[in-house]
Every structure is written in C-alpha cells, then in structure tokens.
C-alpha cells in the first residue's frame, strides 16, 4: 500500500479555519485511493483539532532540528511527501531529499504568504501594492521552496498567474487545486423572510479577519440606523480580549466567538458581511455562505478568484469604500429579488468553479503522472535542482548546529542537576 506523509504546520482545525478544511479535503483525495497516510507535525496538539485517527491516519509528533526525524523518515519510506506551507519544506525538505530522494514532493501553499504580506504592508501604509513589495525576502524564500518541490498545489487561479508572470515559476510545477466542493442537498436553505440579522465569521488569529471586524464596527452604527433592530453577529475561533471588548448589545454588535456549527449560523443569517482588506488565497467563509444560500458583501480581494467564471458575477455585492459597503448591505438586506439573484449566483459559482466531481479526476491524474515520470519531470527544472543543492548545505549545517547546541545545553543541565 503506497504511503503519503504529510508534514503539517499545524494540526487541522476544519471548524476554525479554511486551511484546516482544505487540508482534510487533500487527505480525502488519497484516502479515496486507499493510500496509507501519516500526518506528522512539530506543532502542539490544539483544542479544536480534527481527530485524524478516526480516519485511520497515524498522528505523529516530530521535532524541529533533530536527527530523530531522519530515523522516522527512513522507517516510513513514503511515496509522496506533502509539505503544509513552505516553512515546512524549508525545515524538512533537505532531509526528504537525502533519505527519500525518489518520493514525490508536493507543496500545499495554502495561499501565497508573500502576496498576503505584500498586501498587508501596503494596507498599513494606505497605498497600492508595488513590485518591490512582491520582491521581499519572504517572497525569495517562498518561491525557492516552490521551485524545489515537484508540484505546488495552488488554491487560486490569480496566484497561478502571479507565480508564472511575476516569479517565472514554470506552469509544469504548478497544479490548480481550489476548494473541492460536494453539494450536500440536506443542508438547510432557509427562506429570505425567515432569516434575520447579519453575520461575520472568521478566525481571529488571521489579521485580515481582525481588520474586517474593525471596519464593520466602524460602519455598523450607520447600517443600524437604516436597518433598525438588525444585529451583526461576530463569530470566530480564538477571540482575543480586544475583540470581545467590541461587544455592544445596544448597538446590536454582538461578539459571539466560537461557532459550534458555522453552516447553521450562516443558514439563519440573511447576509454574510466580510470586507476583507488584504490577504490571499480563497476565503472559506464565502464557500460556507454559498452552500447555505447566504449572499455576501465583501471587497475585491475577498471575492478574488471566487466569482462565477463565465460572467464574473459575485454572490452578493463587491464594495470597497465605507459608503459602498453600507449601501450594499442595506439594499441587499431589504430587497428579496436581489437577494435571490445573489443566492442563485452562489449556486452557479459552486457548480462552475469548485465542483469536486469535475476537478478531482484531473488533479489526481496530474499528481500521479508526475510521480510516475518523476526523473524526467525533475530534469526539466534545473533551477529547482540548483536551489536544492545550495539549500541542503546551508539548511543542513544550520539544523545540525542547532541540534548540537540543544544537546550540549541538555547535557549541561543534567550535569548541574547531578551536582
């Protein structure tokens, strides 16, 4: 039975973030092909993590900068190694190259960290993103990791184009793998007249979500004046005190924190409000909103690579300024005909952009084709081979130095304890 080894940046939390949900969908691809799967991570076990053992997946804690991983890797001998974000490839990629050189190396970029960071920098300075922003040290690290891997699973068509046009990443090293959606006809579809209030949902540890909440708090009093009695419910994992302090019953701005069932929350809401100011990748909150037939008001970045591919339409309204967001929310909340049009557009987006039945066969075929023709594939990509050569030496020696330093510190501690 072939083996997939996943090196996780964190343990998957599908109810906390889109990243956790996406990771489970990638795992499902290999589960359906009857592969054995090991999920290994140096991260601490989290409260909201998904129990992978319930799917028959081995969960293994691993150490950073430790040769103990080499022994584990040699015992596993995986056929495919999937790095969860480029930082894990930086940490463990050279070890995989040395011990399992014939393993297919996949990188799940989640979203482009360098793009998100560039947009964040521009947001803080209230200006447009420049090419210099995209050529940061973070970009150099991330693109190098992409080139060292055989395939990078890229979630957004916008990012596929950016990687090729801005960073000259060969198309043959990129694989478009967006959210893979299976429509569940049993999901509740509450009618317009039976829904009330608006909601926002998103992990508070994700800075774009926090900035969106701050903007909503700023504009909500003006929305409330035009929609008396309507409330905005703020949901999300790990709310910090600065978020709960925004809770205001009189204003109808209610910070509710963790949602046990995000789909149920969205199904009861009339609108999903999420003016995402910067970021990258795809936004899972809007997939959940579309699945429950809930129109959304967001920004161009929020809707990026998620509009209906043939018409370019959004399942709600795309707005940028405070005035546009206020007007869009009030109009969409009150007008049933516009609301139903937006709901139908959401259904079309799910079907035409994210249908698992259409995407999965092509994705699996490409991954297996590269795995079966791995040597020929790698011979096409000299830059990746060159980067591996230099990365192995620099990272290997640094990791060995850290490991030796840690062992010496432990030895000194033990000697002092024995004195």
Is 282 found in the same domain as 137?
Answer: no
Domain final residue, candidates 326, 354, 382: 354
pLDDT number for residue 386: 82
Q: How many domains does the chain have?
A: 2
Q: Strands, DSSP E only, in 167-302?
A: 174-176, 198-201, 232-235, 253-257, 271-274, 296-298
Is 150 found in the same domain as 61?
Answer: yes
**Segments of the chain with pLDDT less than 50:** none
Is 369 found in the same domain as 347?
Answer: no
Is 152 found in the same domain as 54?
Answer: yes
Domain final residue, candidates 330, 354, 378: 354
Would you say residue 416 lies in a domain?
Answer: no
27-30 contact pairs (CB < 8 A, 24+): 27/52, 27/55, 27/57, 29/180, 29/360, 29/363, 29/364, 30/4, 30/80
Domain that holds residue 325: 192-354
Is 274 found in the same domain as 334?
Answer: yes
Given phi > 0 = left and psi -120 to 50 = alpha, else beta, which region is 58? beta
Residue 43 maps to which CATH number?
Answer: 3.40.50.2000
Is 382 found in the same domain as 328?
Answer: no
Is 106 found in the same domain as 120?
Answer: yes
Would you say residue 218 lies in a domain?
Answer: yes
Would you say 192 and 266 are in contact if contact means Cβ atoms under 8 Å apart? Answer: no
pLDDT number for residue 242: 94
What pTM does this model have? 0.90
Is 219 found in the same domain as 163?
Answer: no
Is 258 found in the same domain as 139?
Answer: no
* Residue found under tokens 């103990």: 68
pLDDT number for residue 339: 98
pLDDT number for residue 412: 57
Is 166 found in the same domain as 242?
Answer: no
Is 264 found in the same domain as 137?
Answer: no
Would you say 265 and 199 are in contact if contact means Cβ atoms under 8 Å apart? Answer: yes
Is 245 found in the same domain as 100?
Answer: no
Backbone φ, ψ for residue 41 (5° rounding): -150, 145
pLDDT number for residue 17: 81
Would you say residue 417 lies in a domain?
Answer: no
Residues 303, 296: Cα–Cα separation, whole Å: 9
């Amino acid at each position: 039975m072939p083996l997939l080894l996943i090196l996780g940046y964190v343990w998957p939390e599908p109810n906390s973030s889109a990243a956790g949900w996406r990771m489970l969908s990638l795992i499902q691809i290999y589960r359906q092909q009857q592969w054995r799967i090991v999920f290994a991570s140096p991260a601490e076990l989290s409260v909201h993590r998904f129990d992978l053992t319930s799917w028959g997946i081995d969960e293994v804690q691993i150490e950073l900068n430790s040769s103990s991983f080499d022994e584990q890797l040699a015992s596993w001998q995986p056929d495919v190694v999937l790095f969860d974000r480029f930082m894990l490839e930086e940490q463990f990629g050279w070890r995989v190259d040395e011990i399992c050189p014939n393993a297919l190396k996949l990188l799940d970029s989640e979203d482009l960290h360098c793009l998100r960071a560039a947009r964040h920098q521009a947001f803080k300075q209230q200006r447009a993103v420049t090419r210099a922003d995209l050529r940061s040290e973070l970009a150099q690290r991330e693109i190098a990791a992409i080139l060292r891997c055989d395939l990078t699973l890229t979630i957004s068509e916008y990012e596929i184009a950016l990687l090729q046009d801005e960073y000259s990443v060969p198309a043959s090293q990129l694989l478009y793998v967006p959210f893979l959606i299976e429509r569940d006809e049993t999901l509740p579809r509450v009618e317009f007249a039976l829904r009330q209030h608006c909601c926002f949902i998103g992990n508070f540890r994700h800075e774009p979500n926090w900035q969106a909440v701050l903007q909503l708090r700023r504009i909500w009093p003006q929305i409330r004046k035009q929609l008396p009695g309507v409330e905005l419910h703020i949901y999300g994992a790990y709310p910090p005190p600065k978020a709960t302090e925004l809770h205001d019953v009189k204003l109808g701005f209610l910070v509710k924190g963790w949602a046990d069932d995000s789909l149920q929350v969205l199904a009861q809401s009339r609108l999903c409000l999420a003016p995402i100011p910067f970021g990258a990748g795809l936004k899972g909150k809007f997939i959940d909103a579309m699945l429950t037939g809930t129109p959304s008001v967001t920004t161009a970045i929020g809707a990026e690579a998620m509009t209906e591919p043939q018409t370019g339409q959004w399942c709600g309204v795309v707005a940028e300024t405070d005035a546009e967001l206020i007007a869009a929310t009030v109009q969409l909340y009150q007008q049933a005909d516009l609301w139903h049009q937006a709901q139908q557009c959401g259904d079309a987006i799910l079907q035409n952009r994210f249908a698992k039945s259409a995407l999965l066969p092509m994705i699996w075929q490409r991954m297996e084709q590269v795995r079966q023709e791995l040597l020929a594939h790698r011979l096409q990509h000299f830059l990746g081979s060159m980067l591996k050569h230099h990365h192995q030496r620099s990272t290997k020696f640094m990791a060995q130095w850290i490991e030796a330093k840690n062992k010496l510190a432990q030895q000194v501690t033990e000697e002092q304890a024995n004195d």
